[in-house]
Structure 1
Amino acid sequence: MNESRQLDLFIDAPPPTPPAPRPPLRNTPRPARGDTTVPTLRPQSLAAGMRWREVRASTQLIGFVLKRSRRKSIGLTINDDGLLVTAPNWVTLAQIDEVVVEKSNWILDKLSAWYDRRAQLAMADTHWQDGGAVPYMGRRIVLRLGGAHDHTHLQGVEFEPSDGDVLNLALPRDADHGRIRDAAYAWLQQQARTWFEQRLRYFLDAQGLQLRRWRLSSAATRWGSCNSDGNIMLNWRLIHFERDIIDYVVAHEIAHLREMNHSKDFWREVGRILPGFERARDALRQHDPATLPLI
């Protein structure tokens, strides 16, 4: 997905206060065509108890975040920061390096896929620091830290945001990027839960339908689902998109309460619930849930 298509669901306006530039990262340039080196992305900051480590495998240097724990074995995970190695306190650094080298082919394959996915993230250009910008309901809001706030709140109209609205996080200005990201994600999920509930109720009442239950989803393959028992799941990452996109997915799943298929009758039902849904549907088809941030 190229950049112009990536951003077409968002209002393309820069934040009023651009974030400070990040310090340069080692080995971060995209490899040239034909170069099989996988970039090493060192996180912007590390949480307490974590450290950055690098080991030379047969083909290249591999960087990773090392976390000690009480677990009984060494664990390898690819997360939003790249490779995380979790190891028992009694395991030596040499033993950890040996495991990374032994699993280097698997690690590099997963890191390569992660790097490609990361380049397409809706929040790939977000700096998890004071002044960073986050897509929310089709706009970009700005993160603020270090204020006298005991809870996260948005300065602006909650479900009608404008570019540049400020999201105050109840965190110190020097909070590490993982804490900032987690706090922003938690707020986004809460907003998704509240807004989706309202839109479900609106369409259900208009159609005279009942819903057994619904819940948020973090699925990597679908935006929503409805099973034969009448239970609906909606992907929380939809909260990044404008309201028309969210309404389309809600209407789509509600239509399944009458038509548990994707036949012509189903699409007629979607059109009856939400006339003119085609624009939102066609726009959303350009996006895969797997290319949006995971929590």
Structure 2
Amino acid sequence: MLDRLQLALFPKSLFPLPNEQEATPLPVTKAKPAQLPYCQPAVLPLGTQWHTITLNGVTLGYVLKRSKRKTVGLSVNDSGLQITAPVWVSTAQLESVLQKKANWIITKLQQLQERHALLALQQITWQNGDRLPYLGQAIVLQRNPVLPTTIFQGECFAPQDGNILYLPLRPEADSAQMRDLTQSWLQQQARRYFEQRLQHYLDKGALTMQRLRLAAPAKRWGSCNSDGTIMLNWRLIHFPPHLIDYVVAHEVAHLKEMNHSRAFWDFVEFLMPDYHYARAQLRQHEPGTLPLL
């Protein structure tokens, strides 16, 4: 249940409207975990305690249960990070174990966060206050009949949780209108964002492409044809930047190597040295699992 998550996927705080609506070109995206927000569950399971720890600069929370077991057990489920430890293990010893497992813990928690973001996407009813993932952040949909066009409260390519997407719709507008306007805006941003990231990797690889085509296939995040046309699934715009960068770098690499040989993967690594992390994350998702907006 979302109200029992230790990772607060959608913070309720909103941010003030900045003066600047356009984003500056982005530098290369580092494939590293974002800060994982956390909150203590309203009710803890019997016999457990809530603790927090900072791992690799990321502060997170976990539920600790003491038991007669002989080793420390770690698991990540829909409720977040769960630790079971022997009664004789000190806090310092336990934290030492968690520090050694920091990369695994952060990766699993981020994957959990992304799965919940996609689940939230499937539950959108297209009403005021609905939230949907955009570049890995949860943005809020709001009707505003006085606006002449759709306006995003925040930097388009550097959104924050809680930024509002204002849609020029009257209060009585139906959900289909809200859905269509939102989809139109998402596709516009996807094209602009993808073009920036494509140019970044084309320049790095000293390559050229013919054109960009957006689509929403059920089986692919992207493709590259021998004529130099790159197709990107526009629904990638829901994901964090480093996952998008991996798909973009992958398809740009196909402009040089139209295969998946060792030479191809070496070139992907040249374009995006830490692509392995994003690749592993993206494998948790399939295009067909995202609802067609």
Structure 1 residue 121: Cα displacement: 4.9
1:282 paired to 2:280: yes
Separation of aligned partners in 2, 1:186 and 1:242:
20
Find the counterpart in structure 1 of residue 68 from structure 2. Answer: none
Work out the percentage of aligned pairs sharing the same amino acid: 52
Find the counterpart in structure 1 of residue 178 from structure 2. Answer: 180
Query: For the Cα contact (< 8 Å) 2:148–2:168, is it kept in 1?
Result: yes
Per-residue Cα deviation, 1:186-242 (whole angstroms, up to 9, x for no partner): 100000000001111111112111111111111111000001112100000000011
Aligned pairs for 1:148-187 within 5 A: 148-187=146-185
Structure 1 residue 264: Cα displacement: 1.8
Alignment CA distance shift 1:281-1:11 (3 Å): farther
Structure 1 residue 12: Cα displacement: 2.0
Alignment CA distance shift 1:204-1:196 (3 Å): same
Query: For the Cα contact (< 8 Å) 2:147–2:168, is it kept in 1?
Result: yes
Alignment CA distance shift 1:122-1:275 (3 Å): farther
Alignment CA distance shift 1:151-1:15 (3 Å): same
Aligned to 1:214, the other structure's residue is in SS state strand
Aligned pairs for 1:115-154 within 5 A: 121=119, 123-154=121-152
Q: Pick one of 267, 270, 273 that aligns with 1:269.
A: 267
Structure 1 residue 16: Cα displacement: 4.1
In structure 1, the gaps of 5 or more residues are 18-118
Query: For the Cα contact (< 8 Å) 1:133–1:141, is it kept in 2?
Result: yes
Query: For the Cα contact (< 8 Å) 1:237–1:293, is it kept in 2?
Result: no
1:13 paired to 2:10: yes
Query: For the Cα contact (< 8 Å) 2:209–2:229, is it kept in 1?
Result: yes
Per-residue Cα deviation, 1:31-68 (whole angstroms, up to 9, x for no partner): xxxxxxxxxxxxxxxxxxxxxxxxxxxxxxxxxxxxxx
Aligned to 2:232, the other structure's residue is in SS state strand
Aligned to 1:156, the other structure's residue is in SS state coil
Alignment CA distance shift 1:121-1:222 (3 Å): farther
Separation of aligned partners in 2, 1:11 and 1:201:
35
Aligned to 1:158, the other structure's residue is in SS state coil
Per-residue Cα deviation, 1:245-293 (whole angstroms, up to 9, x for no partner): 1111000000001111112221111101001011111111111111112
Find the counterpart in structure 1 of residue 220 from structure 2. Answer: 222
Aligned to 2:122, the other structure's residue is in SS state coil
Q: How many residues align?
A: 188
Alignment CA distance shift 1:184-1:222 (3 Å): same
Per-residue Cα deviation, 1:149-200 (whole angstroms, up to 9, x for no partner): 1101101111100000010001112211111111111100000000001111
In angstroms, what is the RMSD of aligned CA positions? 2.3
AA at the equivalent of 2:235: R
Separation of aligned partners in 1, 2:9 and 2:254:
33
Separation of aligned partners in 2, 1:253 and 1:158:
24
Separation of aligned partners in 2, 1:280 and 1:210:
24
Structure 1 residue 131: Cα displacement: 0.8
In structure 2, the gaps of 5 or more residues are 15-116
